[in-house]
Structure 1
Amino acid sequence: MNVIFLLTGLAFVFAVGWFMSSDRKKIRFKNIGILFSLQILISFLCLNTSGGIYALTEISNFFSWLMAQASGGVDFVFGGFVLKEGAAVFFFIVLMPIVFVSALVGILNYTKILPFIIQWTGWALNKVARMGELESYFAISTAILGQPEVFLTVKEQIPKLTEQRLYTICASAMSAVSAAMLASYMKMVPGQYVVVAVFLNILSALIISCIVNPYEPEMDDELVKIPKGNKDPFFQVLGTYILDGFKLAVTVGAMLIGFVSLVTFLNSSFDVFFGMTFTTLIGYVFAPIAFVMGVPGQDIVQVGSLMATKLITNEFVAMGTLHELASNLTLKANAIISVYLVSFANFGTVGIITGSIKAINEKSGFHVAKFSMKLLTGATLASILSGTIVGLYF
């Protein structure tokens, strides 16, 4: 039965992608086959072997340990707040550790460890999947650095990119999540699903691009590298990353206040006028998609509601709701929706990406704005693909 739902999920993703495709005759089936095979291999090793399960557990434990280290600084500044239970301290428990993780990312970047990993992992991905050097490099770097910062690593190339290549890198940016966010996600979603989603989403974004946005990659590009030299003093760089992490935490907090309040308002209003909450209504709209992904029938409305909530608001809002509902869902439904939620595919991110590209180059920003809805749909299909693959093992 799991194989049947894998096929229905794949059929849905391909059908929507084919309908959106800019050139159906050039859909890159060979590349799709290679990337999909990598996804099956990675998901099998991670979720269906003792070694993979052990590795995921250790990675999850490592991020939990990082969160515990972060609490030292948070506790020092905010005192007893972090000791209290409940949603009132979400900002301190979940978001403030982003500051610490961002500092670690800054150290790893300054010491050239991250540039080395990104460069050679991107090189290996390109050799296997033949997606193009720039596209492969960017797919890896966006999963570590996140956006909008990742666009700065290719700012000199962006004005020279065609619309097709621009779409591919933007799709990767929407489908991946930054390393600074992983520990916070793991406070609401099981760590093993977060880690698997990071791996799968890198490849899912490229698969969707092969369908929606097919073109022959330029294989003779010089591999883009994060600038190796950093003339700024270490502590100045570290301070910048710490402040960026704090700004990110505050921004996410502000978005959550606005979006959660809006959803609460809509739920109350719909309940009064229609006898049904807004989230339940959109759950019925997305329930058929959840079903073809393999979500058990008794969970499809709740999972559909979470899928829509993420699209309309952001992944944090949906994860917060999932954290409350998880005990009422089956293991398979939890696995599928958890992986689906680990990406930046929502309306707000489209605005962030468009603004980031526009700040680098006005013309390129216009191109991104023109295909923004196609970009959002493609990134959502990538999340559906990743969730569907994980459902195969539950």
Structure 2
Amino acid sequence: MKLILFLAALIIIFLLAYIASNNRKGIKFKPILIMLVLQLGLAFLLLNTEAGLFVIQGISNLFTHLLAYAGEGINFVFGGIANEGTMPFFLTVLMPIVFISALIGIAQYLRVLPFIIHYLGLVLSKVNGLGKLESFNGVASAIFGQSEVFISVKKQLPSIPEHRLYTLCTSAMSTVSASILGAYMTMIEPKYVITALVLNLFGGFIIANIINPYKVSEEEDIFEVQAEEKQSFFEMLGEYILDGFKVAIIVGAMLIGFVALITMINAVFEAIFGISFQVALGYLFAPLAFIIGVPANEVVESGTIMATKLLSNEFVAMMDLGKIADSLSSRTVGIISVFLVSFANFSSIGIITGAVKALNEKKGNQVARFGLKLLYGATLVSLLAAAITGIML
């Protein structure tokens, strides 16, 4: 039954992508099939083998130690603010982003990250049917996040055609930044965070190959990582620390706004219709939850979490999942957890548009025009990752 449901999910997800395709005759099936097999193999390795368990435990332990180190700095600044035994979300989940952002800056300064991005991107370009630019950008998106990644292509941005820009933006919205992986791991199981990160990287290329297929000539495929303005070590460190703090503050502000708005809308909706707005959306998203493998008796609750992520952001949805996780099966928690690990939500349209517009206004306007289609594609990436997780659990 699981296999039949999985095959049905693949058909539906690919059909939804095919319907939105701007060049159906240009779809390249070979790289799509190769990447789908890679997704299945990597998901099996990460979720069902001792080797995968070893890798995930290693990464999880690394972030556990990093979060503990971050806690020392947080306690030094904010110690005594929280009541003993309490765990304020801002301090325990968001503030560690500052420390992890600093580590990313150090890795970037020592040229470790450019090395990883270049060679991993080069390998991916051999199998994904896309250009080197798209491949490098996909890897960079998983490290820097949906805003910062465009800085690495700012010199080429004016000459990037709209169809390639869509693929770059799809990668940015489908992945998450390394600086907030630790935050996610405090809210959902680390193995699902890592699995989603890997699956979404390939999933972004798969969906882009269907919705937005094109060929890239050798002449068009010249890409060089932009050299950053030379800074001293401590200038760089200060910049990345401040960037991490800005991210934490922005996420915190968005959470305050979204949680308050959802609470108000739920109250008004319930007073008028006798059912909360989120539950109503849960019924709308229930069929999607079912096709990705959620048991029939849990599709409404799962659909509610999925809708919350789309309308607000993944942090709000992860908090809601944490509240009801004990009442759901472990299979459902795993599937929905993987679905949540991406930036695919309405607010990300504005974030990506703003990031590109700050670098090139004309290209930012192009992103704004295909914003909804971008969100559509990125959501299909999340559904694909969740469906693959469902067949493995």
Amino acid in structure 2 at the alignment position of 1:223: F
Q: Give the number of aligned pairs.
A: 392
CA RMSD of aligned residues (A): 1.3
Instruction: Return the alpha-carbon distance in structure 2 between the equivalents of residues 83 and 74 of structure 1.
Output: 15
C-alpha displacement at 1:29, in angstroms? 1.1
Aligned pairs for 1:224-303 (under 5 A) are: 224-227=224-227, 231-303=230-302
CA–CA distance in structure 1, aligned partners of residues 218 and 3 of structure 2: 35
8 Å Cα contact 2:28/2:129 also seen in 1: no
Find the aligned partners of 1:68 and 1:139 in 2 and give their Cα distance.
Answer: 30
Deviation per CA, 1:237-258: give whole Å up to 9, x if none. 1001001101110010000000
Further displaced range: 48-57 or 194-203: 48-57
SS in 2 for 1:123: helix
Q: TM-score, normalised by structure 2?
A: 0.97
Matched position secondary structure for 1:81: coil
Verify the 8 A CA contact 1:137 1:224 in the aligned structure 2: no
List per-residue Cα deviations over 1:141-180 (Å, max 9, x = no partner).
0000112111000011111111110000000000010000
Q: Are 1:100 and 2:127 counterparts?
A: no
Task: Summarize the alignment of residues 152-231 of structure 1 with structure 2, pairs less than 5 Å apart.
Answer: 152-219=151-218, 221-227=221-227, 231=230
* Structure 1 Cα separation of the partners of residues 81 and 43 of structure 2: 39
**C-alpha distance in structure 1 between counterparts of 2:196 and 2:110, whole Å:** 27
Asked if the contact 1:174/1:344 (under 8 Å) is kept, the reply is yes
Matched residue, 2:41: 41
Tell me how far 1:323 sits from its aligned partner. 1.1
- Equivalence for 1:339: 338
Q: How many Å separate the matches in 1 of 2:320 and 2:178?
A: 22
* Whole-angstrom CA distance in 2 between matches of 1:81 and 1:201: 38
User: 2:76 matched to which residue of 1?
Assistant: 76
Question: Closer, same or farther in 2 for the Cα pair 1:150/1:141, shift >3 Å?
Answer: same
- How far 1:86 moved relative to its partner? 5.1
CA contact 2:134–2:168 (8 Å) conserved in 1: yes
Offset from partner CA, 1:127-153 (integer Å, 9 cap, x none) = 233321000000000000112111000
Contact 1:291 1:300 in 2 (8 A): yes
The 2-side partners of 1:217 and 1:2 are apart by 38
1:346 CA drift (Å):
0.6
Identity %: 49
> 1:83 Cα deviation (Å)?
5.8
Distance 1:38 1:217 in 2: 23
TM-score (norm 1): 0.97
Aligned to 2:319: 320
Letter paired with 1:16: L
Q: In structure 2, do the counterparts of structure 1 residues 72 and 49 end up closer, same or farther at CA, with 3 Å as the change threshold? A: same
Counterpart secondary structure, 1:392: helix
* CA shift in 2, pair 1:85/1:257, >3 Å: farther
Contact 2:128 2:205 in 1 (8 A): no
Q: Please give the per-residue CA displacement for 1:7-48, whole angstroms capped at 9, x wherever unaligned.
A: 121111111111111011111211211111110111111112
2 CA distance for matches of 1:113 and 1:248? 23
Provide the C-alpha distance between the structure 2 equivalents of 1:106 and 1:34, rounded to a whole number of angstroms. 34
Is the 1:168–1:213 contact (alpha carbons within 8 Å) kept by the matching residues of 2?
A: yes
- Paired with 2:216 and 2:6, the residues of 1 have a C-alpha distance of 29
Structure 1 residues 259 and 29: CA distance shift in structure 2, 3 A: same
Q: State how 1:80-91 maps to structure 2 within 5 Å.
A: 80-82=80-82, 84-85=84-85, 89-91=88-90
Give the AA of the match of 1:106.
G
Q: Tell me the SS of whatever aligns to 1:128.
A: coil
